[in-house]
Amino acid sequence: MADDELRFGPFRLDTTKRTLERDGRPVRLGSRALDILCALAAARGDVVSKDALMAKVWPGQIVEENAIQVQVSALRKALDEDRTGPDYIVTVPGRGYRLIDRAPSRLASDREGKAARDPARPEDRSLAVLPFQNLSSDPEQEYFADGMVEDIIAGLSRISWLPVIARNSSFAYKGKTIDVKQIGRDLGVRYVLEGSVRKTGDRIRITVQLIDAETGVHLWVERYDRQLDDVFALQDEIAMSVVGAIEPNLRKAELERIKRKRPDSLDAYDLVLQALPYAYSHMPDKAAIAIPLLEKALVLEPGYAAAHAPLALCYHARYGRAGLHEEDRAAAIRHAHAAISGGGDDAIALGIAGFVIAMDERDHRTAQELFERALTLSNSNALSLSCSALALSWMGKTAIAIERAQRALRLSPFDPLNYLAYNALAISYFHLKNYEQARDAARRSIKSNPQFGMSHAFLAAALVRLGCLEEAKAEARQTVSADPNFSIGRFSVAAGFEPSVFAPFAEAWHEAGIPSV
């Protein structure tokens, strides 16, 4: 179907020719009503506010508000809507109108498609990206800013758990000064991303901020100051950076919101959010907290990939650091495959599943295919990049591991999970005998997550090879203090599948005083 053609029920709308047909026969429609129908069709199922429709149908004119109702009534009559027939135009109280199809096989709007796949209500955590303000005197930057916003919308739309309002709806606010809370109510979104562009000489400054539309609180602000050499390359870079940074910030904001909800809430998505900080710790004691929460989520939504993936990670942590019990390894693999089955469009689920399958099932070919699928879906997903880098570093694929780890850190420099990427760098640099870089990466990993014992182990190994034996022994003690079950022999079962990578670590750890068994 062409981009300018939309079918719903027995109707066919051509927005370029501005014609409406029913079963191949023309439908007579006034120009104002047709303008409204085209605007609703362009939104692809998203809510279009009354103000946006007024601006579209009567640009620059002052008309009474009931003019919209008059035209919508005429439109509904032309579509033969009545009390027994289908409603194609739905009034959303306090927000505006939506064009939908009561026979979903004929019209699949982006928003409703996501809602059907996602166990949580989209309005609970949806996002609108507003047109960026052009603060410079150069009108050329208007096109630059609009193109960048479109790229950001496209990138964010790949995050399966985050419904993103279509461009045509959010761009209805272009050039307007409207309170962000009102925009949230109009579009039915919880979060709003807005920004500005200012060009001075041969430099350009872009400011981006994420706002809670319910409270008006700024959740994240970033400024990008760049040389304006290649406009399109810069546009791509900024868009990728924003997409990479926004996901962990949104998850953090959502988690804070869930903490404020009543404790008896059993929504599957809320349960997953509560579990994630513990699941991502990679430590068995924290996994013990996350597992019951994730299992409750799966009782509510058995095929929920966003629960299966962190559950696989929890059992992976229990297997490698709490006894090497075969049932934990089997559970990790089982949930990883369940995450693949239910999360084919979820980059995070695929990234985590690839990591667990690489480490616990030792199916490296499948793992690498999963990493590629995840990064095809969202090449700016920092967690998928980090999981990929960490698994690949243990496989000895240092070049690609370093590239992906560095990209994850560049995209999301303040992510609390950055210790994963730093550990991938520490492993890779140690394997390449770049011991100073391995030391620096391990130190940054410890700074990112001081409680993770493996980071201290990687630092101990690098310090041994740099001749700092006493410091290495201190880090070895920190390793065992953080993870009393850690030993060289036990960890070799979990990560010793590539001897050329693991053996040098084992030798250095032995010199640092880490237990052999």
Mean pLDDT of 269-290: 88
CATH of domain 124-247: 3.40.50.10610
Question: How confident is the model at residue 231, as a pLDDT?
Answer: 62
- Residue 46 makes CB contacts below 8 A (sequence gap 6+) with 98, 109, 110, 111, 165, 166, 168, 169, 187
Q: What is the pLDDT of residue 234?
A: 67
SS3 track for 129-154: ECCCEECCCCCHHHHHHHHHHHHHHH
Q: How far is CA 185 from CA 54, 82, 94, 367, 369, in A?
A: 17, 28, 7, 42, 41
Rg (CA), the chain: 26
Q: Report the pLDDT value the prediction gives residue 87, as an integer from 0 to 100.
A: 60
Mean pLDDT of the chain: 81
What residues contact 197, with CB distance under 8 A and at least 6 apart? 132, 133, 134, 135, 136, 141, 144, 145, 148, 204, 205, 206
How high is the pLDDT of residue 63?
A: 64
Q: In the CATH hierarchy, which fold is given to the domain comprising 413-517?
A: 1.25.40
More confident residue, 385 or 322: 385
User: Is 124-247 in the same CATH topology as 5-108?
Assistant: no
Give the range among 110-114, 386-390, 397-401 with minimum mean pLDDT: 110-114
pLDDT over 80 (residue 43): no
For the chain, the residue count is 517
261-379 CATH: 1.25.40.10
The structural architecture, per CATH, of the domain 5-108 is Orthogonal Bundle (1.10)
Q: Is the pLDDT of residue 352 over 50?
A: yes
**Tens-place pLDDT, residues 489-513:** 989 988 888 999 999 999 999 999 9
pLDDT of residue 79: 76
Residue 263, pLDDT score: 45
- State the CB neighbour count (10 A cutoff) for residue 93: 5
Of 197-206, 259-268, 351-360, 370-379, the one with minimum mean pLDDT is: 259-268
The CA-CA-CA angle for residues 244, 314, 312, to 5°, reads 75
Q: What is the pLDDT of residue 380?
A: 73
The average pLDDT across 200-214 equals 84
Domain boundaries, the chain: 5-108, 124-247, 261-379, 413-517
With a cut of 70, say whether residue 297 has pLDDT above it.
yes
Mean pLDDT of 22-45: 82
Separation between Cα atoms, residue 420 and residue 386, nearest integer Å: 6
The segment with the largest mean pLDDT, out of 28-32, 364-368, 412-416, is: 364-368
Between 447 and 263, the more confident residue is 447
Q: How confident is the model at residue 241 (pLDDT cuts 50, 70, 90)?
A: confident
Report the percentage of the chain scoring pLDDT > 90: 33
Give the per-residue pLDDT at 12: 84
